[in-house]
Amino acid sequence: MSNGLYTQLLDLACGAFLLAAVIVLWQRELAAIVRVFGLQGIALAAIAVLLGAHEERWDLVAVGIGIGVLRAGVLPYLIRRALAALTAAEPAEAPRRITGRQRAHSEEVRETQPLINITASLLTAALLTLLAYAAARPLTELNPTPATRALPVGLAVVLIGFFVLVTRRRALAQVVGFLLLDNGITATAFLATSGVPLIVELGVSFDVLLAVLVLQILTTRMREAFGTTDIDDLRELHD
Amino acid sequence: MSAVGYAAVVGQIVVVGAGAPLLTGWMRQVRARLEGRAGAGVLQPWRDARKLLRKEPITPVGTGPAFRVAPALLVATTVVTAGLVPLLSTDTPVSTHADLIVVVALIALGTLALALAGLDSGTAFGGMGASREMTVAALVEPTILLSVFALSIPSGTTNLPAIVDGAVDEPARLASPAGLLATAALAVAVLAETGRIPVDNPSTHLELTMIHEAMVLEYAGPDLALVELGSQMRLTLLLGLLSSLFVPWGIATDVSWAALAVALVLFAAKVAVLGAVLAAAEVFCAKVRLFRVPELLAGSFLLALLAVTASYFLSGAS
């Protein structure tokens, strides 16, 4: 692969990676958020595969494909299943009071009222991106290659993921925020050091998978106990 | 040399001035056909203008100079911008003055003149429309500036003809993430600036939703014809700018009559295609609620900012 083409493709993958994080911030429908998150997983896998192909390290390519399967396939599938469980549990519970239930249903699959409204979140994301670029500047200057130049993209996704995590109310939106954060960390690791050792990567991946499984169960339990997945309702202690 | 150059400038102004009503008529025709109507024909905006120009000029009681000057100022700024922006040729006698900031300021001046006229009329709708238009403009102008900055970084200048020249030489600049993001951001900004459907409905007269129409509600006769012509010219101009920046092929980069003729045909074709796409998209889209408009515009601003940062950092300019 020629150098110019490699740089172009890497830039394109990084651009798509960052854009997906921004769209997650922009969207309200949880189903759409999960779909975009899956696309981000593909972009992340593309970054890893490109780096591996460029440096002719085939283990990196294999790790990239594994990451793609996990983050674009398995994790979105798990979240979608939790989402389906939330919506399917509705009608059986209380057939009466249809209207109130329907409203609750639409609120359950949508992030209707984030703590910070969407316009302000988007502008904050702009600031966070600039912050990431400013913070990564000294790192980039150490060894300016196409991969390290894209390093701020990973940091920006970490910050945006953290922002989603603290400003969203729905449990599943927060799970996606957590996964964005993890995607950002993985991307940073790839771009800065061409990937961590295989065993660490495997450990992290399983960790994330287990975390999502646990959070999925937790979400369903929350829904059973409180009737909603709004995290703000968890302020008071219950016995 | 200069004869062709001046011809290019005059040609741009004439094409934008005479073609703008035709473009609007064409877009309405496309829309009508897609909705299953026969449509009024491509020439209808020109017939409307002729009808309005024959009426006697009337201004409401109590309006001042701002109201009377605004239509002329709107058309004048648009004509000057049409002469400056590289629509047909990048090598004109005025191309050294075609700076991005000048162009955006001229466009903003036209918007401001109309908003002042809306306030001057003293009606509730005029003031409401003006305040809404300014809200949108405050978000749109930085987006236009930023999205073109993303393209100006590889060229190293904010001179529009130079940016277009550079893009013709190196098409790879446009296929980069920065170029794609900037395209998306500028497209949304153009839609908002010209009052097309996701932001404003050009054919509505429903008081709760209109933005642009609310400001010009008090105009009648020749003044209304000028206001209509001005907004049609702005649409043509901005669509032309979008096509020049992102699909620059065919623009005359040297001085020859043949290149100019090719550029003229291609410009008409590009703008017609863009207009048809826009009209077709409008059939399938609903207008965004007014309170969601800032969200859309903040999103496009963010895209533009990402384009600038991507262009600056990823391409290794630093």
Per-residue pLDDT tens over the stretch B258-300: 888 999 999 999 999 999 999 998 888 888 888 788 888 998 9
**CB distance A8–B315 less than 8 Å?**
no
**B135 touching A, CB under 8 A?**
no
Task: Please tell me the distance from the alpha carbon of residue A64 to that of residue A73, in angstroms, as a whole number.
Answer: 13
Write down the pLDDT at residue A104. Answer: 53
Mean per-residue pLDDT, A200-222: 86
Domain that holds residue A161: 3-229
- Dist. CA A65–CA A76, nearest whole Å: 16
The pLDDT tens digits of the residues spanning B82-141 come to: 999 989 888 888 888 889 999 999 999 999 999 999 999 888 888 888 998 898 998 899
Quote the CA–CA distance of A158 and A152 in Å, as a whole number: 10
| Confidence at residue A99, expressed as pLDDT on a 0 to 100 scale | 52
Q: What is the pLDDT of residues B200-234, one digit of tens each?
A: 877 777 767 778 888 888 899 999 999 999 999 99
Residues of B in contact with A152 (CB under 8 A): 309, 313
Confidence check: pLDDT of A235 > 50: yes
Distance between A105 CA and the closest CA of chain B, angstroms: 23
**CA B118 from centroid of its chain's CA atoms:** 20
Which residue on chain B is closest to A136 by alpha carbon? B313
Q: How far is CA B64 from the centre of its chain?
A: 28
Is B306 an interface residue toward A (CB < 8 Å)? yes
Highest mean pLDDT among A173-187, B174-188, B248-262: A173-187
Whether residue A50 is contained in a domain is answered as yes
CB contact under 8 A, A12 and B176: yes
Tell me how many domains chain A contains: 1
A199, pLDDT greater than 90: no
Q: Which residues is B252 bridged to in the sheet?
A: B89
pLDDT top residue among A231 and B156: B156
pLDDT tens readout for residues A18-46: 999 999 988 888 888 999 999 999 999 99
User: Does B157 touch chain A if contact means CB atoms closer than 8 Å?
Assistant: no
Q: Report whether B173 contacts B179 (CB < 8 A).
A: yes
pLDDT band (50, 70, 90) for residue A96 = very low
Q: Which of A193-202, B9-18, B128-137 has the lowest mean pLDDT?
A: A193-202
What per-residue confidence (pLDDT) applies to A150? 85
C-alpha separations of B101 from B71, B104, B236, B309 in Å:
23, 5, 19, 19
Q: What is residue A95's predicted lDDT score, i.e. its pLDDT?
A: 47
Smallest CA-to-CA distance from A170 within A228, A94, A100, A96 is with A228
Q: What is the pLDDT of residue A221?
A: 83
**Residue B317 predicted with pLDDT over 50:** no
- Indicate yes or no: CB of A22 within 8 angstroms of CB of B175: no
| Residue B99, Cβ density class (10 Å: 0-12 exposed, 13-18 middle, ≥19 buried) | middle
User: First CA to last CA across chain B, in angstroms?
Assistant: 38
- DSSP SS3 for B307: helix
Band (A230; pLDDT cuts 50, 70, 90): confident
Which of A225-239, B114-128, B191-205 bottoms out in mean pLDDT, i.e. has the lowest? Answer: A225-239
Give the mean pLDDT of B37-55: 92
Q: Token digits for A178?
A: 């957590």
Tell me if B316 and A150 make a contact (CB, 8 A cut-off): no
Can you give the pLDDT at residue B318? 39
Q: What is the DSSP letter of B292?
A: G
Would you state the pLDDT for residue A102?
52
**Residue A126 forms contact with B (CB below 8 Å):** yes
Task: Identify which of A119, A137, A150 has the shortest CB distance to residue B295.
Answer: A119
Q: Is B298 in Cβ contact with A152 (below 8 Å)?
A: no
DSSP summary character for residue B314: I
- A141 falls in which pLDDT band (50, 70, 90)? confident
Phi and psi of B29, rounded to 5°? Answer: -65, -45
Would the pLDDT of A236 be above 80? no
Q: Are A33 and A20 in contact (CB under 8 A)?
A: no
Cα distance from A16 to chain B (closest Cα, Å)?
8
Nearest by CB to B305, from A117, A126, A149: name it: A126
In-domain check, residue A234: no
Q: Which stretch of A62-76, A217-231, B149-163, B248-262 has the lowest confidence by average pLDDT?
A: A217-231
DSSP code per residue over chain A: --HHHHHHHHHHHHHHHHHHHHHHHH--BHHHHHHHHHHHHHHHHHHHHHHHHHHT-HHHHHHHHHHHIIIIIIHHHHHHHHHHHHHHHHHHH-SS-HHHHHHHHHHHSB----SS-HHHHHHHHHHHHHHHHHHHHHHHHHS--HHHHTHHHHHHHHHHHHHHHHH--BHHHHHHHHHHHHHHHHHHHHHHHS---HHHHHHHHHHHHHHHHHHHHHHHHHHHHHSS-BGGGGSS---
Where do we find the tokens 């968890």?
A: A234
Output DSSP code: residue B252: B
Chain mean pLDDT for chain A: 83
How far does the CA of residue A85 sit from the closest CA of chain B (Å)? 30
Helices A151-167, A118-142: inter-axial angle, 10-degree rounding = 150
pLDDT score of B154: 84
Cβ atoms of residues B279 and B30 within 8 Å: yes
pTM: 0.84
Quote the minimal CA–CA distance from B291 to chain A in Å.
10
